[in-house]
Amino acid sequence: MTRRTVHLAVYDTYADWETGHTTAHLAQNGFTVRTVGPTTAPVTSMGGLTVHPGLALAELRPEDSALLILPGASLWDSGDALAPFARTARTFLEAGVPVAAICGATAGLAREGLLDERAHTSAVSFYLAATGYAGGRHYADTDAVTDGDLITAGPTEPVAFAREVFARLGVYEGEKLDAWFRLFHDSDASAYEVLQG
């Protein structure tokens, strides 16, 4: 496995629409996307899709990955079932490997203490405040935030989330990154020419 492998966490109730732009464009640009579940047993997304994880969480190592993506899920807010994914995120960040979390996954990272000293965003500030975390002063009311190796976004911002991932991994940069965002976020057809150039 090379550092061109990105790991997408999948677990029951995961929000399948939140990472589609990200994984599709990573795959189209030379990255391999591997799914990681609590085990390799099938999981069911919020949209009813059945996914067979390619890897169990216990087998995942930061040195084998370019990025860990954590989508939202109902389970982030209904107990500790996904806490092992937040602990894995800590291991990744400590190893200098980026982590991208969207929607409910940001609450999981907040509970793990990973947002206490980093700039971040989520659905709304009071959603994270309800976790009891200590990072409220670092909350940014914006579409997506990158702070070093940590990317966060709210549930309504899958395109901005993808933009931040692409910037962090160097998939698109500068004018092309801006054009990609304008095309997929704003439906700006003029951006298509820039992407093709």
Active site residues: 103
d(CA 19, CA 102): 8
Helix, strand, coil content of the chain in percent (nearest 5): 40, 20, 40
The CA-CA-CA angle for residues 190, 191, 197, to 5°, reads: 110
**Number of C-alpha atoms within 13 angstroms, CB side, residue 118?**
21
The upper half-sphere exposure of residue 81, i.e. CA atoms within 13 Å in the direction of its Cβ, equals 16
In 11-147 the beta strands, taken as DSSP E runs, fall at 32-37, 43-44, 50-51, 55-56, 67-70, 99-102, 144-147
The residues near 98 (Cβ < 8 Å, ≥ 6 apart) are: 66, 67, 68, 92, 149, 150, 151, 168, 169
Cα(118)–Cα(120) distance, integer angstroms: 6
124 — phi, psi (to 5°)?
Answer: -155, 160
